[in-house]
């Protein structure tokens, strides 16, 4: 139909933590949602999956981005910007990008991750 019903699933180390709201019938969703999460000492990566909600069948995965602990260490003041989506299924072509803001707060003992899922296109 030329549009989708996108939402995001935020995962830390492959554990689903957050699901954003669904934005209906668009290819340019705006979420503007911000979350603050406790980070475990062994934290490795943050993954954000952009999904297409489907009432009649299983939701489709549009694409994902992955931000590793090393990538966050390279940006001590946080990262803000557009990231290209990558494919989850190698047989699927992925086009699109997501606008995120991510920063690590606190010290080694009690670190938190502030993640803003802003928009996609």
Q: What's the pLDDT score for residue 1?
A: 61
Q: Closest Cα to residue 13, out of 50, 68, 60?
A: 68
Domain assignment present for residue 95? The answer is yes
Domain assignment present for residue 81? The answer is yes
The CATH number assigned to the domain holding 23 equals: 2.60.40.150
Domain assignment present for residue 32? The answer is yes
Q: Closest Cα to residue 4, out of 54, 49, 70?
A: 54
Domain assignment present for residue 89? The answer is yes
Average of per-residue pLDDT across 12-18:
95
- How many domains does the chain contain in total? 1
Structural domain containing residue 108: 6-120
Domain assignment present for residue 1? The answer is no
- Residue 60 token pair: 């489709």
Domain assignment present for residue 112? The answer is yes
Residue 19 has pLDDT above 90, yes or no: yes
Domain assignment present for residue 47? The answer is yes
pLDDT > 70: percent of the chain: 99
Domain assignment present for residue 90? The answer is yes
What is this structure's pTM?
0.94
Tens of pLDDT along 62-108? 999 999 999 999 999 999 999 999 999 888 889 899 999 999 998 77
């Amino acid at each position: 139909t030329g549009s989708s019903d996108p939402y995001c699933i935020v995962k830390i180390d492959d554990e689903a933590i957050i699901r954003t709201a669904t934005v209906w019938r668009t290819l340019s969703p705006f979420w503007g949602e911000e979350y603050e999460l406790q980070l475990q000492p062994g934290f490795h990566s943050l993954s954000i999956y952009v999904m297409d909600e489907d009432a009649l069948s299983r939701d489709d995965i549009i694409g994902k981005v992955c931000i590793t602990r090393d990538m966050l260490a390279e940006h001590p003041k946080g990262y803000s910007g557009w990231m290209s989506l990558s494919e989850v299924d190698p047989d699927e072509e992925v086009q699109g990008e997501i606008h995120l803001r991510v920063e690590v707060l606190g010290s080694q003992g009690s670190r938190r991750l502030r993640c803003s899922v802003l928009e996609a296109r």
